[in-house]
Structure 1
Amino acid sequence: MRDRAARMRAGLKEHGTPGNVADPRISVDLAHLRVLQAKARRITFLPRQPARSILNGRHASRLRGRGLNFEELRQYLPSDDVRAIDWKVTARTGTPHVRIFTEERDRPTLIVVDQRMSMFFGSELNMKSVTAAQCAALSAFRIHDQGDRVGGIVFGDQAIAEIRPGRSRRSLDAFLTALADANSLLSAEAPVSTPMPLNQVLKSVARIAKRDHLVLVFSDFDETDALTHKLVAGISRHNDLVLGLVSDPYTDTLPKGRRIVVSDGTLQAEIDTGDTKVHRRLTEMAKGRLAEVLDWQRLYGIPVLPLTTARDSVEQMAHYMGLAGRRL
């Protein structure tokens, strides 16, 4: 009975999964997430992006890569790049000097994943929560394989888990475990609670990722306001920020002529989408939120990945990262 309402909500048939096995379209566990490791090779988060990637230089933003550490100040040698000359020191000493920098060994990455009840919805293939979890796991595996530090913030309606970026497998496993645990709390019978504000999570992101981080956020971005804009702009100013906007076709194109029962777990109401005014207002509200987040790419130069529950997560990530033709 636990998942019956969820299957109905997602439009899934009950005979699709054996009795005790969780339907991976509704929920994911740690074993399911680990299976994605091999498939993660089809994407890349390195600064040099494939030609078709949404993160390459042709788009509003690109990944800047790892930072530089100051190594030494020494006299100029014929093999040195003239662009490295420190003209102030050269003028003061009378002999050419260059500043030597080395690339940082790795770059910290913070993967933020929304697992609130607003994400527990899906009308075709997956729940939004599953799509977000899968895309986050794919990203974590690939970034770890590239040698960068991986951490994250996983949040639901009541709890938030923070995993500081680390280069060890233990850090990666801690993130995946937190993701699986948060996803397991979502069900049609979950108790009613006030959802955690997205702004609270973004404040945590700003506190941890002060600068030179890669920050990935997978969410439906439910309930944004002026403060959300300010926080997003601030995070992107000092970091590489990529947004995974997760949506569902049902909310993108609300069907007409249906009576839909909506509930917060305690109260419920019936909405008649056959009413032209009601349908128009609901459609405008849904499309307005999506358009607002997509417009952040223009306003702040932030790449936005328009992810949908109707498509396989691996295929979508491969498509946006420019490696759609590569198969394993």
Structure 2
Amino acid sequence: MRDHAARIRTGTAPRTRPTADADMRINVTLAHLRALEGRARSLSFLPRQPARSVLNGRHASRLRGRGLNFEELRNYLPGDDIRAIDWKVTARTGEPHVRVMTEERDRPALIVVDQRMSMFFGSQLNMKSVTAAEAAALAAFRILEQGDRVGGIVFTDSGIVECRPQRSRASLNRFLTVLAGANGDLRADAPTVQPVALTQVLRKVARIAPRDHLVIVLSDFDMVDAETENLVSGLARRNDLILGLVADPFAEDIPGGLKFVASDGELQVEVDTSDRTAHGGLRDMAQGRLAAIIDWQRRFGVPVLPLSAAEETLPQMRRLMGLGPR
């Protein structure tokens, strides 16, 4: 596993890469992810968010952003924000004084992207893995342009690759290269392996981002348990945590009257959704998992961005962040 992760990171792992004329709705290329840079400028991950942004909602924690450093104490001047007045100094001297604060130079960001086989599904537009990859690239470009360090974790069924947050184009390009490579490895005939659990990934996130980071997790949140919830709660207390819940309408509302065969690569089962019991069980299982993740917003104060693989990525991100259509 470790050797495979190292080869992905260095670009030496053998894989079937998408060709230039490949369908970007199924597998993305590095060129496709790089082409998103210009469109990323319409987003913002700074603390001040539009009123309708889910990052500024009633139940979600506001983005704390960069911290503030004390710069100087000086006399009040016309036009100064009265909220900056230091009332203790003002009372002691008899003249109004304000505290001048400067924003810290950067806030490290860590973008965690799920590229497991559970993400290799789409019923209308994109594979969930493509939506997650595009959202990650858009966020990474925008965060770097804001002057913050950006890094990421890309995890697949077979391994986890870390890219430590740095403020450099080379580091961002390395992250996108890893992401495009992992996405290109997803295919219907991929060998069956025991997938990496989300809990294992979040342990690494907690080690890399102990506090005061912006952490964005883009996943369908398959394979979560009680420890996953504990890790999410802990990360939310010490960092600005955003959960991008990537789903497909088929999972949210499984159509009735379908007959299909589901397989994990070794075993298979025939599913008939015209059977009310089978249909109801599948629907309740899928909707229950989505509802449990969305409920983390209420319980832990974590903003959840529900991203659909049935829509283009950027327009729905803009809508969720309270921005109008372009």
For 1:278-289, what aligned pairs fall within 5 Å after superposition? Answer: 278-289=278-289
- Note closer, same or farther for the CA distance 1:70–1:205 as it changes in structure 2 (3 Å cut): farther
Q: State the SS of the aligned residue for 1:55.
A: helix
**Deviation (angstroms), 1:103:** 2.3
Match of 2:189 in 1: 189
Quick check: 1:136 aligned with 2:140? no
**Deviation (angstroms), 1:100:** 7.5
> In the aligned structure 1, how far is the partner of 2:20 from the partner of 2:146?
37
For 1:162-177, what aligned pairs fall within 5 Å after superposition? Answer: 162-177=162-177
Quick check: 1:227 aligned with 2:239? no
Quick check: 1:315 aligned with 2:315? yes
The answer to whether the 8 Å contact 1:113/1:155 transfers is: yes
Match of 2:11 in 1: none
- Note closer, same or farther for the CA distance 1:99–1:207 as it changes in structure 2 (3 Å cut): farther
> In the aligned structure 2, how far is the partner of 1:153 from the partner of 1:261?
33
RMSD between aligned residues: 2.5
Match of 2:269 in 1: 269
**Deviation (angstroms), 1:20:** 6.7
| Number of positions where the alignment pairs a residue of Structure 1 with one of Structure 2 | 300
> In the aligned structure 2, how far is the partner of 1:295 from the partner of 1:155?
24
1:265 counterpart letter in structure 2? G
**Deviation (angstroms), 1:99:** 8.7
**Deviation (angstroms), 1:52:** 2.1
> In the aligned structure 2, how far is the partner of 1:84 from the partner of 1:218?
44
For 1:79-94, what aligned pairs fall within 5 Å after superposition? Answer: 79=76, 81=84, 83=86
Q: Percent identity?
A: 62
Q: State the SS of the aligned residue for 1:42.
A: coil
- Note closer, same or farther for the CA distance 1:261–1:84 as it changes in structure 2 (3 Å cut): farther
Match of 2:5 in 1: none
- Note closer, same or farther for the CA distance 1:168–1:26 as it changes in structure 2 (3 Å cut): same
**Deviation (angstroms), 1:62:** 1.4
Taking structure 1 as the reference length, the TM-score comes to 0.85
Q: Deviations over 1:139-194 (max 9, x none)?
A: 00111111111101000001111011111111111111111011011001110000
- Note closer, same or farther for the CA distance 1:59–1:83 as it changes in structure 2 (3 Å cut): farther
> In the aligned structure 2, how far is the partner of 1:43 from the partner of 1:78?
37
Q: Deviations over 1:244-274 (max 9, x none)?
A: 0000111111111111101111221111111
**Deviation (angstroms), 1:59:** 4.8
The answer to whether the 8 Å contact 2:214/2:241 transfers is: yes
> In the aligned structure 2, how far is the partner of 1:208 from the partner of 1:85?
40
Match of 1:241 in 2: 241
Match of 1:12 in 2: none
Quick check: 1:204 aligned with 2:204? yes
Quick check: 1:124 aligned with 2:124? yes
The answer to whether the 8 Å contact 2:152/2:165 transfers is: yes
- Note closer, same or farther for the CA distance 1:225–1:30 as it changes in structure 2 (3 Å cut): same
The answer to whether the 8 Å contact 1:246/1:307 transfers is: yes
Match of 2:104 in 1: 104
Q: State the SS of the aligned residue for 2:181.
A: helix
Taking structure 2 as the reference length, the TM-score comes to 0.86
Quick check: 1:51 aligned with 2:47? no
Q: State the SS of the aligned residue for 1:232.
A: helix
Provide structure 1 residue ranges, at least 5 long, that are not aligned to the other structure. 1-17, 92-96
- Note closer, same or farther for the CA distance 1:146–1:77 as it changes in structure 2 (3 Å cut): closer
1:259 counterpart letter in structure 2? K
**Deviation (angstroms), 1:102:** 3.9
